[in-house]
Amino acid sequence: MEENSNQPDWSISELYEKSWEIIKKNKVLWVFGMALAGAGSSFSSFSNSSSNFKDLINPSSSPLASPASNQISQVLGAAASNPNLPDIGQIILILPWYLYLILGNMAPILASIPWYLYLILGLEILALVILGYTISIIYSVWSHASLIQGVQKALGSEKLTIADTSEKAFPAIKSLAFLSIVPSFVIVGVGIVMSAVFIFLLTLGGAVFKIIAGLLLAVWVIFFLLALIMLSLTLIWSYREVILRQKPAMEAFKRGYYLAKKKLWSMLLLGLVNTILSAVVTGIPIVVAFGVVVGGFLSLSAFKDLAVVLIILGTILFFVVIIGLTLLGGILNAFKTSVWTIAYNKIAKKYG
Amino acid sequence: MDNNRNASFGLRFLATITEFFIFLSMHLLFWFFLIQSSSISQFFYNFILYLVVLALSPLGLLHSLLFTYYLGGTIGKLVTGLKVVDRLGQRLNFKRVFFRQTIGYQFSSLVFGLGFLSILKYENKLAWHDKASGSKVIVAKNLWMLSAVLAVIFFVFNLYLAVSVLDKAFTSPLPGEISEMFKSVGKSQIPAEESTPSALPKLRVD
C-alpha cells in the first residue's frame, strides 16, 4: 500500500473550504443530500396500499400544545402516587407471558382460516419487502449519482437544476446498483461462511485445537473488518469513476480499489475528520434536547414545576431538532460528497 | 382555457383528493362489512381477507404504474382531465413512470412535501418528481367540475361509511367478545405454580 511521499495530493482544509463555497451557492445540492439521507429510511416508509397517500403533502408536525403546568403536574403527581397503576418493571415482565396467552387463546381462531390465505398474505409481504428494498437501492444510487454530478457541475461553475442533474444521473443507476449490492454481498457472504467454519472447528478436537481455531477466528475477524473498510474506501472512488468517467461497474471497481490502495492513509484521515464533523454537527443538538428532557424527568420528584417546564421545552426542542436535522443531514451529505469529489478530481488524472 | 397547458397546483390537488376519497371508500366498505362479523373467528377471517385483497395487495402500486403508463394518469388525474407526459408531450416510457410514481413521490415528500409545493413556486408548474423524471402534467380535457362533483359524492359516502362503522363498532357484540377474551387472559396474567399452558381458559369459538 503505497502513498506518494512527495507533496500531498490534497489538504483537508483546502477541500473543506472549496466544498463549503460550493454548498453555500448551490441549494439544489442540499435537496439531493436530503434525498440521499432519506433513501436510507425509504424502505421502512414505502407503502403500496394506496398510491394516493404518497401524493398528499405530508402534514407538518405540530408543536406540542402547552397545557397549564398545574394541570400536568397534578396528573403526573397523581400518576406517580396511584398504587393501582402497574410500574414499568411489572409491565415488561408480564408482556411476553400476556402475548403468549393471547396467542394461545387465538390459536383455534387463526387455525380456522384457510391456509391459502396465509400463503397469499406471505407472498404479498415478501413482494412488498423485495419491492421496497429494490426501490430503496435505486433511490439511494440515483440521489448519490445526482449529488456527484451536481458537485462536478458546480465545480465547473455551471448552473444547477434538479432536472438536468437528475437526467445526467440516470445512465449510471444500473452500474451503481451493481456496485452497491454485489461486492458487499460477496464479502459478507464469505465472512459468514468462514466464521461458521471457524466456529465449527472450535467445537471439535482438544484444548490445543480449540486455541488454534480461536486464534484463526480472531485473525479472520480482523481481516474481515479490514476488508469492509477497504470496500467502503474503494466504492468512494468507484462511484465517481462510473458517474464522471462513465466506466462500467467492474472496471470502475478495479480502478477504485487501485486508487484506494494508493491513497489509503489520506482517505482514512479524511474519513475520520468527516465522521467527527458529522458527529459534532448532528450530535450536539440531539444531546442538548435529550439532556433537557432527561433533566426534566430526573427532577420530577424534587421540583415538579421545573420538571414539567423542562420536559415540555425539551420535547419541543427535540421536534425542532428532528426537523432541523433533516435539512442539516442533507447539507452534510452534500458537503461530504463535495469533499470526496474534489479529492477525486485531484488524484484521478495523476494516477490515470 | 387552452388545453395542453401545464396543470396548476389546484387542479393537481383536486385530482389527488378525488383519488384519495375513491380509494378510502374501498377501505371503509371493507371495514363496514368487517365490523358486521357475527363472531371473532369470522372477524379475523374477514380481516385477513381485507389484508390480502386491499391493504397489503399490490393493487395500489399496479394501478399507479399501469394507469399512468397506458392511460397517462391515475384515476384522480383521468377524471380531472389531466395527463402525465414527457417534456415533449409524448407518453412516458415505463422506467420513467416507475421512477416517477415511486422514487419521485418520495423525493417530493422531503421536508413536509416541499417538492409538491414547488408547483406553486415555478411558472412551469413542475413538482420535484416531475423535474427528476422529466415529466409534466398537462390539462388534456376540462373535467375539473366532474372531479369536484365526484370528490363531494365520495366524501359524503365516506362520511356515511365511517359513521356506520363507528356505530356498528359500539353496538355489535364483537367488542364485548374481544374484551372477554382479554379479560380471561388477564385473570391468568402472572404465572402461578398451578398455572400451566395446558390449563389456559379456552375461548368459545363459533
Residues of B in contact with A101 (CB under 8 A): 185, 188-189, 200
Q: Give residues with Cβ within 8 angstroms of B131, minimum separation 6.
A: A161, A162, A163, A166
Q: Are B24 and B158 in contact (CB under 8 A)?
A: yes
Q: Show which of residues 14-43 on chain A sit within 8 Å of chain B, judged by CB atoms.
A: 31, 34-35, 38, 42
pLDDT for position A318: 83
- Using the beta-carbon criterion (under 8 Å), do A109 and B49 form an inter-chain contact? no
Count of A-B CB contacts under 8 Å:
155
The distance of A91 to chain B (nearest Cα, Å) reads 11
State which residue of chain B sits closest to A98, comparing Cα positions: B189
Q: B113–A53: do the CB atoms touch at under 8 Å?
A: no
Residue B172 has pLDDT above 60, yes or no: yes
Q: How far apart are CA B138 and CA B123, in angstroms?
A: 13
Helix (H) or strand (E) run with residue B138 in it: strand B135-139
Dihedral, CA atoms, A273, A274, A275, A281, nearest 10 degrees?
110
How far the first Cα of chain A sits from its last, in Å, is 17
Provide, as residue numbers in chain A, all residues whose Cβ is less than 8 Å from the Cβ of B185: 98, 101-102, 105
* A50/B60 Cβ within 8 A: yes
Give CA–CA dist A210/B199, Å, rounded.
Answer: 47
pLDDT attached to residue B186 = 60
> Which of A51, A57, A60 has its CB closest to that of B61?
A51
If contacts are CB pairs under 8 Å, which of residues 272-291 in chain A contact chain B? none
Give A-chain residues touching B48 at CB under 8 angstroms.
113, 117-118, 121
* Angle at A164 (CA atoms; ends A159, A165), nearest 5 degrees: 85
Question: Kind and range of the H or E element at B83?
Answer: strand B82-86
Higher pLDDT, A91 or B71: B71
Cβ distance of B106 and A42 shorter than 8 Å: yes
Chain B residues whose CB is inside 8 A of the A48 CB are 58, 60-61
The C-alpha cell of A182 is what? 454485489
Residue A18 or residue B176, greater confidence: A18
pLDDT of residue A5: 53
Q: Is the pLDDT of residue B193 over 50?
A: no
ipTM of the complex in this document:
0.83
A118 part of contact set with chain B, CB < 8 Å: yes
pLDDT tens-digit map of A223-255 = 999 999 999 999 999 999 999 999 999 999 999
Q: Please, are residues A142 and A38 in contact by the beta-carbon 8 Å criterion?
A: no
CB distance B180 to B39 below 8 Å: no
% of chain B surpassing 90 pLDDT: 65
Per-residue pLDDT tens, chain A, 352 aa: give them: 444 456 778 889 999 999 999 999 999 999 999 999 888 654 433 333 333 333 333 333 333 333 333 333 343 334 344 444 456 667 677 777 777 777 777 777 788 888 999 999 999 999 999 999 999 999 999 999 999 999 999 999 999 999 999 999 999 999 999 999 999 999 999 999 998 888 888 887 788 888 888 888 899 999 999 999 999 999 999 999 999 999 999 999 999 999 999 999 999 999 999 999 999 988 888 888 888 888 888 888 888 888 888 888 888 888 888 888 888 899 999 999 999 999 999 998 787 6
SS3 content of chain A, % helix, strand, coil (to 5): 80, 0, 20
Q: Give the pTM.
A: 0.79
B20·A109 Cβ contact <8 A: no
Cβ separation B134–A35 shorter than 8 A = no
Please tell me the least confidently modeled range out of A91-95, A250-254, B10-14, B133-137.
Answer: A91-95
Nearest to B197 by CA among A111, A107, A89: A107
Residues A181/A186/A191/A197 CA torsion (nearest 10 deg): 140
DSSP state of B67: I
